[in-house]
Structure 1
Amino acid sequence: MVTVALPDTWSYAVRVPHDPRAARVVRMTVRAALSGHGMADMLDVVELLTSELVTNAYRHTKGPASLRLTAVGDGRLRVGVWDSSPHIPAPFDEPPGVRVPPVPLAPAGAEGGRGLFLVQQYATAWGGWSLGEGLFGRGAGKLLWFEV
């Protein structure tokens, strides 16, 4: 009998339309991928942070978004979210590894404004790259990422 050892590095990519259900779709994708790869211990954090970034992509752009989940080895997971806006919000606008003061927390009762604060609290690393304005005035966008 032959035994197959699964690699500790893998990657999944999902493109989601500009749709209010996009965050739910990526939460289900994250849950399936991490559960299937024995990474359920980090599921809640990854699901929350991924949902926050995809929700921001929906709220602040008019185009689709893409999600990439990558197991980079040693039990680490990198999550990247691309959207069509070139604007990089704090704390993603600093070079990787630079710790900045926490993003101000939204006032009590506010409907938003906590997602990037949560990334700072729960991710071990994060960053972002602007991909520029693109052709014909259409945004090439940005990529925001975090690791846990």
Structure 2
Amino acid sequence: MPDAWEYTLYIPHDPRAVAISRRTLRDILTTHTLPALLEPAELLASELLTNALLHTTGPAALKLRQSGHSFRLGAWDTDPTPPKATTPTETGTSGRGLHLVEAYADDWGWFTVNGTDGKYIWCELGTETKPD
């Protein structure tokens, strides 16, 4: 069974932080020899962090955790409002974030942090090779 590990990357309220977080995520997954998770984890982290920065005015954080055969990533932001999936339009550039999380993640959820200190949205990806 793989060793457990956890990282937290605190980011400022700056749209450039999403790209920096993706590169950091890529380095962490490469270091821990999880290449199959690179693309889905980058997509999910980008969506969660972008939403955190779009819908709040405060800082955010990306949290990564490997435990057993499960990889969890999540984004914390300063707004305790529950996440809400919207119906994207055909030509719109927003509204797809939670739909992508539902499509790519094995599981996902959210909870408020300390009542009004924001929320944490998480999703999980399995790390075991699945038979065809």
- Please give the TM-score of this superposition, normalised by the length of structure 1: 0.79
Q: CA RMSD in A?
A: 1.5
**Structure 2, unaligned stretches of length 5 or more?**
126-132
Aligned twin of 2:81: 87
Residue 42 of structure 1 and its aligned partner are, at CA, apart by 1.2
- 1:113 to 2:95 alignment: yes
Distance 2:87 2:28 in 1: 31
Instruction: Determine if contact 1:105/1:117 at 8 Å carries over to the other structure.
Output: no
Residue 104 of structure 1 and its aligned partner are, at CA, apart by 5.4
**Bigger Rg over Cα:** 1
Change (3 A) 1:105 1:8: farther
- 1:60 to 2:55 alignment: yes
Residue 109 of structure 1 and its aligned partner are, at CA, apart by 1.1
Instruction: Determine if contact 1:106/1:114 at 8 Å carries over to the other structure.
Output: yes
Distance 1:13 1:39 in 2: 18
Question: Equivalent residues in 2 for 1:1-148 (5 A)?
Answer: 8-74=3-69, 76-90=70-84, 103=85, 105-131=87-113, 132-133=115-116, 140-148=117-125
Question: Identity over aligned residues, as a percent?
Answer: 44
Instruction: Determine if contact 1:27/1:47 at 8 Å carries over to the other structure.
Output: yes
Distance 1:62 1:123 in 2: 27
Instruction: Determine if contact 1:22/1:55 at 8 Å carries over to the other structure.
Output: no
Distance 2:86 2:56 in 1: 22
**Where do 4+ consecutive residues of structure 1 move more than 2 Å?**
none
**Cα deviation code 1:45-81 (max 9, x no counterpart):** 000011100000100000000111000112x210121
- Please give the TM-score of this superposition, normalised by the length of structure 2: 0.88
